Chain A
Amino acid sequence: MRPENYQAISHPPSNEYELNFGPNHPGIEGNYALKVKLHGDVVVAARADGGYLHRGFEKLMEGRLWIQNIALVPRICVPDPVPMEVCYSMAVETLNDMEVPERAQWLRVLQLELSRIAAHLFTFGGHAATTGMYTTMYWGVADRDLILDLFEEWTGGRVYHIYNIPGGVRRDIPEGFLDRVSHTMDYIESRLPDYDNLFFTNQVFVDRAKDTGPMNQQQALEWGVTGPNLRATGLAFDVRRDDPYLVYDQIDFEIPTEAPGDAWARTLVRRQELMQSIHIVRQIVEKLPSVGGPVRTPIPNPLAWNVPAGETYTRVESSKGELGYYVVSDGSDKPYRVHIRGPSSMHAVRVLEQLSLGARLEDVAQIMFSLDACPPEVDR
């Protein structure tokens, strides 16, 4: 029997506790953290904790010349750096009222699509690793390396190319390069059935990913979701088609969509986008020999290059979603203000917090990878 003066000590129930998920955690993507509150192993509250990769890009860019910033921008999103260069170059060209030669536009699209394929292969690998299928990670990274080899031959850099500059691209493709591109595309396409068997139709993955982190179309629009994550909710929005830039209006491609909006749908959309990108690259390989001319418009002395005053917003479709640059110039040799609208800062903070609610702890990493968030771009 309890004594009469017994008083129960009030304390939180022992099955409720908080965990720091990251930054030093094998499941988290990059140097990023989530603070989660768990009830058993179900997440009841989550808060994103970024800032580990903050470098102050927008401030750094105000202190450098227009041409110097080209070397800085690809560092913002490491797995998919090309859209950053292209988008910034497009912004500077718009401010200058500059024409880009047609051949340079085709080369830019070729590079954008190759970069998209590489980024998607990398994401599949990371996503598979969170569900315990490490073989897909090994395959994805190895196949991505083939594209990095192409980039290396073409631009001299494996990851950061610094190839797109305001006015065009730095140099033309090497001799016989298009044959190697189509050979690599053939190889990657021939690998896709193996990926299907190993990963996309694997029952382990389907069971884990279906109904994990679902969002409907209305939520996605409210939260500012773009890119494959939005298309996985059934809305066919793609900057490449709806606001065409470069030569995308001359290219034939489809916009794959899926209805459910869960992790499984998001991955399947990327899988189909990979096919579309291969299709686009093949069209460029056919078209490019018939497009002649220079690859860049000459710019004045870049060390004393005053860009006319004005402001502009340009956007491209990166592998993560809509990427935009808002650039203000006051007529001097440096940008007055640059704001970067990164897709991942929408996906990895609010959306990840919301989708984690009610999920189990082991699915949080999977949700983050299925959103394809890029931590360096969140923190900038």
Chain B
Amino acid sequence: MKEIDIPIEASVGQSRTNPLARVFDELVRFCRSRSMFMLHYCTGCGAIELPPAMTSRFDMERLGIQPMVTPRQADILLITGYVSIKTLKRVILTYEQMGSPKYVIGICSCTVNGGMYWQSYATAKQLDQYLPVDLYIAGCMPRPEAVLEGMRKLMDRIRSDEADGWKDYYRRYDWYLGNQQHLFGDDWQTPADVIGEASHYDLAGPGTEGEHTRLLQQCQKPLEPQQTFFQIGGSLEKKGEFHE
């Protein structure tokens, strides 16, 4: 029996040798670039130019881009401006909840180098130290036309398979985690099992695990429900108790 030459290591990142598979991949990428859901999480002041870009005047929907309310169904994470440390934690949690492939766009100068707030004690200056950024749209703030142009560029990059920031996150998870631990402290952890996902996608590389992931495993504690914020057992009659 003749052996069929099927490449075993046909991982997502490398171009496949089977021509049929290549055509199929291209078709998938074409379809993917034409229907993108954008997470509705407005982190900074650049968010004010998104309503004009989304609504009737500039109409992002004609490019196939729509806002989506849940991270699990979204493809694009827009970071619209400066991220304070408190927001960055939520942004990373949100990013890890999104299903791959996922793309990050950094809007405004603040995501590039800190922008207006380069002096500030409260903001993270360079976003790409903590998350893989596929595309930056610089400006303070970028006009809706610039946002649309950036979206078109991202579509082109998805079609030509260049927007692979999400793979970089799996391949160099240890470096990203190290930067996050540097900012948030050694006991920083998220519910997502990134190393497991990396091996699922066959993207685990030498940079996936390292000293920082070992520290993560050492400091890992079982995720417990959050401490209740209000005292339990209140009711409408006892409304006054919660005023303090």
Which A residues fall within an 8 A CB radius of B? 12, 16, 18, 23-26, 30-31, 35, 37, 39, 42, 44-45, 47, 51-56, 59-60, 63, 71-72, 75, 78-79, 122, 125, 137-138, 141-142, 144-145, 148, 158-160, 354, 357-358, 376, 379
- In the bound assembly, the distance between CA atoms of A25 and B41 in angstroms comes to 7
Contact of A30 among B42, B82, B94, B234 (CB under 8 A): B42
CB <8 Å contact, A26 and B236? no
**Shortest CB–CB separation between residue A215 and chain B, in angstroms?**
15
Can you sample 23 A-B contacts with CB below 8 Å? A18-B228, A18-B230, A23-B41, A23-B87, A24-B39, A35-B230, A44-B234, A44-B236, A44-B239, A45-B242, A51-B86, A55-B122, A56-B122, A60-B117, A71-B116, A137-B51, A141-B52, A141-B55, A141-B56, A142-B56, A144-B52, A158-B143, A354-B243
CB <8 Å contact, A24 and B235? no
Q: Which residues from B are CB-within-8-Å of A379?
A: 84
A31-B87 CB under 8 A given contacts A12-B233, A160-B141: yes
Q: Which residues from A are CB-within-8-Å of B28?
A: none
Q: Which residues from B are CB-within-8-Å of A141?
A: 51-52, 55-57
CB <8 Å contact, A55 and B52? no
**Shortest CB–CB separation between residue B104 and chain A, in angstroms?**
15
Kindly state whether residue B121 has any CB partner on chain A within 8 Å.
Answer: yes
Contact of A24 among B49, B82, B90, B228 (CB under 8 A): B90
Kindly state whether residue B66 has any CB partner on chain A within 8 Å.
Answer: no
- In the bound assembly, the distance between CA atoms of A31 and B83 in angstroms comes to 10
- In the bound assembly, the distance between CA atoms of A141 and B44 in angstroms comes to 18
Contact of B235 among A39, A59, A137 (CB under 8 A): A39
A44-B48 CB under 8 A given contacts A53-B84, A54-B84: no
CB <8 Å contact, B229 and A18? yes
B29-42 Cβ-contact flags toward A at 8 Å (1 or 0): 00000000001111
Kindly state whether residue B140 has any CB partner on chain A within 8 Å.
Answer: yes
Contact of B234 among A24, A26, A37, A56 (CB under 8 A): A37
Contact of B42 among A31, A42, A51, A56 (CB under 8 A): A31
Kindly state whether residue B119 has any CB partner on chain A within 8 Å.
Answer: yes
A159-B48 CB under 8 A given contacts A18-B228, A75-B116: yes
Q: Which residues from B are CB-within-8-Å of A44?
A: 234-236, 239, 242
Q: Which residues from A are CB-within-8-Å of B43?
A: 31, 52
- In the bound assembly, the distance between CA atoms of A264 and B48 in angstroms comes to 25
CB <8 Å contact, B49 and A159? yes
CB <8 Å contact, A31 and B230? no
In B119-143, which residues have CB < 8 Å from any A CB? 119-123, 140-141, 143
**Shortest CB–CB separation between residue B159 and chain A, in angstroms?**
29
A30-B47 CB under 8 A given contacts A44-B242, A160-B141: yes
Q: Which residue of B lies closest to A51 (CB)?
A: B86
CB <8 Å contact, A47 and B229? yes
- In the bound assembly, the distance between CA atoms of A16 and B238 in angstroms comes to 13
Q: Which residues from B are CB-within-8-Å of A160?
A: 140-141
**Shortest CB–CB separation between residue A191 and chain B, in angstroms?**
13
- Residue among B45, B233, B239 facing the most chain A CB atoms (10 A cut-off): B45
CB <8 Å contact, A358 and B45? no
- In the bound assembly, the distance between CA atoms of A64 and B29 in angstroms comes to 48
**Shortest CB–CB separation between residue A361 and chain B, in angstroms?**
14
Q: Which residue of B lies closest to A47 (CB)?
A: B229
- In the bound assembly, the distance between CA atoms of A287 and B84 in angstroms comes to 45
Contact of B55 among A12, A26, A39, A137 (CB under 8 A): A137
Q: Which residue of B lies closest to A74 (CB)?
A: B45
Q: Which residue of B lies closest to A11 (CB)?
A: B232
Contact of A55 among B48, B67, B84 (CB under 8 A): B84
- Residue among B51, B82, B119, B243 facing the most chain A CB atoms (10 A cut-off): B51
Q: Which residues from B are CB-within-8-Å of A52?
A: 43, 84, 86-87, 90
Kindly state whether residue B178 has any CB partner on chain A within 8 Å.
Answer: no
Q: Which residues from A are CB-within-8-Å of B106?
A: none
- In the bound assembly, the distance between CA atoms of A159 and B51 in angstroms comes to 13
- In the bound assembly, the distance between CA atoms of A122 and B50 in angstroms comes to 12
Q: Which residues from B are CB-within-8-Å of A60?
A: 117, 119-120
CB <8 Å contact, B122 and A42? no
Q: Which residues from B are CB-within-8-Å of A47?
A: 229-230
- In the bound assembly, the distance between CA atoms of A357 and B235 in angstroms comes to 11
Q: Which residues from B are CB-within-8-Å of A26?
A: 40, 67, 69
Q: Which residues from A are CB-within-8-Å of B229?
A: 18, 35, 37, 47
CB <8 Å contact, B236 and A39? yes
CB <8 Å contact, B239 and A78? no
**Shortest CB–CB separation between residue A103 and chain B, in angstroms?**
29
Q: Which residues from A are CB-within-8-Å of B236?
A: 39, 42, 44, 358
Q: Which residues from B are CB-within-8-Å of A51?
A: 84, 86
A142-B119 CB under 8 A given contacts A51-B86, A159-B141: no
Contact of B120 among A31, A56, A142 (CB under 8 A): A56
- In the bound assembly, the distance between CA atoms of A24 and B42 in angstroms comes to 8
Q: Which residues from B are CB-within-8-Å of A137?
A: 51, 55
CB <8 Å contact, A23 and B121? no
Q: Which residues from B are CB-within-8-Å of A53?
A: 44, 84, 87
CB <8 Å contact, B120 and A55? yes
Contact of A357 among B69, B122, B233, B239 (CB under 8 A): B239
**Shortest CB–CB separation between residue A373 and chain B, in angstroms?**
15
- In the bound assembly, the distance between CA atoms of A45 and B234 in angstroms comes to 9
- In the bound assembly, the distance between CA atoms of A56 and B243 in angstroms comes to 28
